[in-house]
Amino acid sequence: MPELLTKLSFEGKVDQLLANPDRGSGLEKGAVSKAYFRFSGMEGDCHGGLTRASDSRMLKQYKRGTEVRNSRQVSILSREELAEVAARMAIPAVKPEWVGANMLVSGIPDLTLLPPGSRLQFPSGAMLVVDAENHPCRYPAEIIARHHPDPAVGFVKAAMHKRGVVGWVEAEGLISSGDRITVWIPPQRIFAHK
């Protein structure tokens, strides 16, 4: 029987974990060495919750503020992709705390292009499911502009398809900085109808 999920031949690594307990203080998050991920999201971070209010990204599907299941509990970005974004902007770095990251990872090429339904597995047994690629928006652009007011290319343009993925917790567990990440992807095929 064909597999529902296929393990990639390489592993990723957790470079950094970040949390922001208070959404009112803005998008920027602070580093933590480890965190427990529960079905409700990352402990100590304000983007958790089993449901959330739909936002501007979903206006074609929902009236703004509709209660929807929270498939954006966790924001995951790639160290390599952020370095590429910084290079495009001609600035020294785009720090993960500027773009609302919960997790900075390395070793997973094209992290942002991971297919929906991919699974990221951690040594504790914790499992995160990729819901979708995250599109760059103006909030991080404003934060970056405080540090680098005159980039060669704006963040929204520079970060397209490099801004990481969002996802939700399928299995609970502790995740620590330095953890290895096993990646599982669903069958790769193009849907034949439009």
Q: How far is Cα of residue 79 from the mean position of the Cα atoms in its chain?
A: 12
109 binds a copy of itself (CB under 8 A): yes
Full DSSP string of 79-107:
HHHHHHHHHHHTSS---GGGTT-SEEEES
From 24, 60, 146, 150, residue interacting with a copy of itself (rule: CB under 8 A): 60
**Does 43 sit near a copy of itself (CB under 8 A)?**
no
Distance CA(97)–CA(95), nearest Å, equals 5
Q: Is 22 in the site for a copy of itself (CB under 8 A)?
A: no
Within 23-42, the residues that bind a copy of itself by CB under 8 A are 39
**What is the identity of the amino acid at 21?**
P
Per DSSP, what are the bridge partners of residue 67?
Answer: 53
CA 191 to chain centre: 25
135 interacts with a copy of itself by CB under 8 A:
yes
Read off φ and ψ for residue 11, nearest 5 degrees: -110, 155
Residue 64 sits in the site that holds a copy of itself (CB under 8 A): no
Q: Cα 120 vs. chain centroid, distance in angstroms? A: 11
List binders of a copy of itself among 72-101 (CB under 8 A).
none
Residue span binding a copy of itself (CB under 8 A) among the ranges 5-13, 24-32, 79-87, 139-147:
5-13
Label the pairing between strands 119-121 and 180-185.
antiparallel
List the interface residues with a copy of itself, window 143-182 (CB under 8 A).
156, 160, 168-172
Residues that bind a copy of itself (CB under 8 A): 1-10, 39, 50-51, 54, 57, 60-62, 66-69, 71, 109-110, 113-117, 119, 121, 125, 127, 129, 131-133, 135, 156, 160, 168-172, 184-194
